[in-house]
Amino acid sequence: MGTTRMDRRFFLKTAGAAAGSAATVQVGCLTYFKKGRSASADRREVPTTCELCPNKCSAIAVVEGGLVKKLNPNPENPKSRDMLCARGNAAIKQVYDPDRLKQPMIRVGARGEGKWKPVSWDEAFDFAAKKLAEVKAKYGPEGTLWSSTEGFQEVFFKNLGLAFGSPNLVRHPTLCLASVNLAYSATFGTVPSFDLLNSRYVIMSGANRFESIITPDTMDLIGGVMERKAKLIYLDPRFTVTASKADEWYPVKPGTDLAFILAMIHVIIAENRHSKEFVAAYTTGFDQLVEHVKQYTPEWAERETEIPARDIIRIAREFSDAAPRSLYYAGRRSSWYQNDFQMRRAQAILNAIVGNWDQLGGMVPNAKLPKGEFLFMPWDEPKAPRVDEIDKHFPLAAKGDGVYLKLRENVLSGKPYPVKAWMVYKQDPMNAMPDQAKTLKMIEGMDFIAVIDVQMSDMAWYADVVFPESVYLERTDPVEVMPGIWPAVVYRQQVVKPIHDTKPNLEIVQGLAKRLGLSDYFDFTIEQWVDAEFKELPIPLAAEHMKKHGVWAASGQPSYGKTLTPDHRFVTKTGKIEIFSERLQEAGYDPLPVYSAPKQPPENRFRLILGRVGYFTHANQSNNVWLNEFMKENDLWINPKPAARMNIKDGSYVTVTSSVGAVKLRARVTEEIRPDCVFMLHGFGKKSKMQSLVYNVGASDAVLLETAWDQVSGNAAFHETFVNVATA
């Protein structure tokens, strides 16, 4: 044995001794560093609420010398469970990002050319108001489109659009989770939470919860399902981190999850394993389901899904044995296939028949907490119908959200009427919508485009005027109730003053409203708005509490079974959980989920599938310097078999082509994806030069994705595009 063995004890002993001797000479150095992070007189800790993704986790900002030095998790929020993820931590770099928008700007070159003139707020407001008035005079208020994504200050932007008289507000849900929301709403009258902390048996279809973080689900998957050795069954064409932690991973044939679920229902009913008492007491339409699923045998499902029939049978048995502490997890971004609504409906029905509703370890209707509401002056309802014709084509979809892709089709065609101004808040339709070329065409057709954002997104890059919003650490926002098994009320308060010439959205809206003659509707301050909300929080000294703690969580204890009483009325047409849905039937849809086999890619073509990682959710996060360090360029996952056939080497550049666009990016040759699929991450290949870290780096999925949507909800179907891949 010629080598010296270093065990842990020996290492600690020697390291300690070395540190001791070094300490004498390092004192000056330590003092120097201490200066920068000492508990100096101006050190403050400010509780607030994160805005880097929709989770709204509670954070405590540490401020020293007027700078945000650190963000810590806030243990008082039961939803974020004393966790702040990589994205949350990187919010500091949103404040001090050299790329961020620092003052209002008006375009002086051609759209997309990137020539801008910095202007005063007055100039920017006057310019936008004049353009909006021109469009209104020519096309009516309905000739303006107001696009936004969820956020605490989104309400002001939406209200400006409505007060202006436009029916055309369009929000993000039909680019994200509209199908899952509509499916669970249609079945239970609400979208429940999933009690992963206490479940014994969990099935997930493509919900990559270990990487695509949802609070508290991601933490409960670790602290609940993993800790207690509960079983996790995972279906995904890709071997994700969630697949690596699951007990069983099935690389399901894409788009066939519905067949798997229907076959599970078939087995459970055929073997009399459903909860008879629950079905009788709380549901309607079970008899129709019995007849309906007879055709969906496990052997049939094996041919569709490539999951062995014996496994489907076993999983169905284990699932029903573990009930009510078993659940088929709904997932969040459900913009996958054109049958997405029916796939989620089948999940909901499967959950219902084993009686896991409102049970420990099952699905739980969200508890809510009360808060006050600022009563603003109401306006007249917009007179024109919506341009996306939602009533005609998607009668059951959420009217207030609109249907994005149908809307784009109609705006492009000019039917039923022209839309010529586009106002955008906190959204990047250039990357959020499929088929970027079509979005560019829509942009070309606009007489006027204004964008309110914290950074120069690709959408802002093509705007006529950009209004720089203060980032969340520089703002006080409305109070928000976070419903859930562990509900909380969260508050976002200003941590540092804006470091550039930016404004919170409310003040931007007020600046526009003043010039549009709509000031009366926005005659309040954020403080007045927030005070009205604090007033009805049932805690003493609510305002003081929220400012000091940033969150209020009642008892923090979940309660189960509140809806399991004979007189409980579900918010559905019948007042019961609707297995068979008359409302769907009346609207011309299948009242029970009917399977039809999805198209599969022809030889030598691939299905493009999407997903997220723990450090990027939205397209704007790849330009955050801390997050960008995790991944500087996106690549294309491709299986070694087709890669070898096409002579594609790991790390080499490939050209990916769909019917609507082509991109070039590096190949990642990996066994971790099915041979008939390719995968890429979202948020690269930016057109905006003010996204300097990702400008022209990697590729944008939006360039390749074709326009397709779920038939019932109108939710975008992002996994329906087939692509060619070739060496570049």
Partner 1 sequence: MQNTTKLLAMLLALSVSLAAQGGSDTKGKFFFKKSCKACHAAGGSAKEITPLSKTQAQWKAYFAAGKHKKGAEKLDGVVKPEQIKDIQTFLTNHASDSPQPETCGG
Report the interface residues with partner 1, using CB under 8 A. 54, 148, 150-151, 154-155, 158, 162, 171-173, 176-178, 181-182, 184-186, 190-191, 370, 373, 375, 377-381, 391-392, 395-398, 400-401, 569, 571-575, 583, 585-588
Residue 372 or 614: the one with the smaller Cβ distance to partner 1 is: 372
- Cis amide linkage into residue 483, ω under 30° from 0: no
Residue 79 or 674: the one with the smaller Cβ distance to partner 1 is: 79
Residue 447 or 469: the one with the smaller Cβ distance to partner 1 is: 469
Residue 312 or 479: the one with the smaller Cβ distance to partner 1 is: 479
DSSP letter, residue 385 = P
End-to-end, the C-alpha distance of the chain in Å comes to: 52
Write down the least CB distance from residue 479 to partner 1, Å. Answer: 13
Write down the least CB distance from residue 366 to partner 1, Å. Answer: 9
Residue 116 or 194: the one with the smaller Cβ distance to partner 1 is: 194
Write down the least CB distance from residue 162 to partner 1, Å. Answer: 7
Tokens of 143: 């000739």
Q: How many residues does the chain have?
A: 728
Write down the least CB distance from residue 233 to partner 1, Å. Answer: 27
Write down the least CB distance from residue 82 to partner 1, Å. Answer: 23
- Cis amide linkage into residue 416, ω under 30° from 0: yes
Residue 233 or 352: the one with the smaller Cβ distance to partner 1 is: 352
Name the strands in the sheet holding 326-329, side by side, starting at the edge strand that comes first in the sequence. Answer: 248-250, 231-235, 201-205, 326-329
Residue 162 or 207: the one with the smaller Cβ distance to partner 1 is: 162
Write down the least CB distance from residue 642 to partner 1, Å. Answer: 37
Residue 233 or 398: the one with the smaller Cβ distance to partner 1 is: 398
Write down the least CB distance from residue 53 to partner 1, Å. Answer: 12
Tokens of 128: 């936008």
Residue 169 or 259: the one with the smaller Cβ distance to partner 1 is: 169
Residue 138 or 392: the one with the smaller Cβ distance to partner 1 is: 392
Write down the least CB distance from residue 714 to partner 1, Å. Answer: 11
Write down the least CB distance from residue 656 to partner 1, Å. Answer: 30
State how far the Cα of 406 lies from the Cα of 423, in Å rounded to an integer.
Answer: 18
Indicate the burial class of 548 (C-beta count within 10 angstroms; 0-12, 13-18, 19 or more): exposed
Indicate the burial class of 640 (C-beta count within 10 angstroms; 0-12, 13-18, 19 or more): middle
State how far the Cα of 156 lies from the Cα of 468, in Å rounded to an integer.
Answer: 16
Residue 274 or 333: the one with the smaller Cβ distance to partner 1 is: 333
Residue 15 or 377: the one with the smaller Cβ distance to partner 1 is: 377
Amino acid at 382: P
Angle, helices 404-413/436-444, rounded to nearest 10 degrees: 50
Write down the least CB distance from residue 580 to partner 1, Å. Answer: 16
Question: 444: how many CB neighbours lie within 10 A of its CB?
Answer: 11
Write down the least CB distance from residue 433 to partner 1, Å. Answer: 17
State how far the Cα of 77 lies from the Cα of 65, in Å rounded to an integer.
Answer: 27
Report the half-sphere exposure of 370 (CA within 13 A, side-chain side): 8
Residue 53 or 608: the one with the smaller Cβ distance to partner 1 is: 53
Indicate the burial class of 39 (C-beta count within 10 angstroms; 0-12, 13-18, 19 or more): exposed
- Residue (of 428, 426, 425) closest to 457 by Cα position: 428
**Residue 504 three-state SS:** coil
Name the strands in the sheet holding 421-425, side by side, starting at the edge strand that comes first in the sequence. Answer: 116-118, 105-107, 465-468, 448-453, 421-425, 144-148, 169-171
Write down the least CB distance from residue 684 to partner 1, Å. Answer: 25
Write down the least CB distance from residue 130 to partner 1, Å. Answer: 27
Write down the least CB distance from residue 416 to partner 1, Å. Answer: 15
Element (H, E) at 722: strand 722-727
Contact between 682 and 704 (Cβ < 8 Å) = no
Write down the least CB distance from residue 573 to partner 1, Å. Answer: 5
Residues 6 or more apart from 584 whose CB is under 8 A from it?
Answer: 186, 396, 590, 591, 712
State how far the Cα of 263 lies from the Cα of 271, in Å rounded to an integer.
Answer: 12
**Residue 235 three-state SS:** strand
Question: 35: how many CB neighbours lie within 10 A of its CB?
Answer: 9
DSSP letter, residue 54 = T
Residue 269 or 396: the one with the smaller Cβ distance to partner 1 is: 396
Report the half-sphere exposure of 131 (CA within 13 A, side-chain side): 21
Residue 394 or 679: the one with the smaller Cβ distance to partner 1 is: 394
Contact between 568 and 506 (Cβ < 8 Å) = no
Ranges of H-type helices in 173-331: 178-188, 217-220, 241-245, 257-270, 276-282, 286-292, 298-305, 309-322
Residue 191 or 252: the one with the smaller Cβ distance to partner 1 is: 191
Rounding to the nearest 10 degrees, give the CA dihedral for residues 407, 410, 414, 419.
Answer: -10
Residue 397 or 553: the one with the smaller Cβ distance to partner 1 is: 397
Tell me whether strands 144-148 and 421-425 are parallel, antiparallel or unpaired.
parallel
Write down the least CB distance from residue 487 to partner 1, Å. Answer: 15
Write down the least CB distance from residue 221 to partner 1, Å. Answer: 21
Write down the least CB distance from residue 186 to partner 1, Å. Answer: 7
**Residue 489 three-state SS:** strand
Residue 162 or 697: the one with the smaller Cβ distance to partner 1 is: 162
Residues 6 or more apart from 340 whose CB is under 8 A from it?
Answer: 179, 180, 334, 710, 713, 715, 717
**Residue 141 three-state SS:** helix
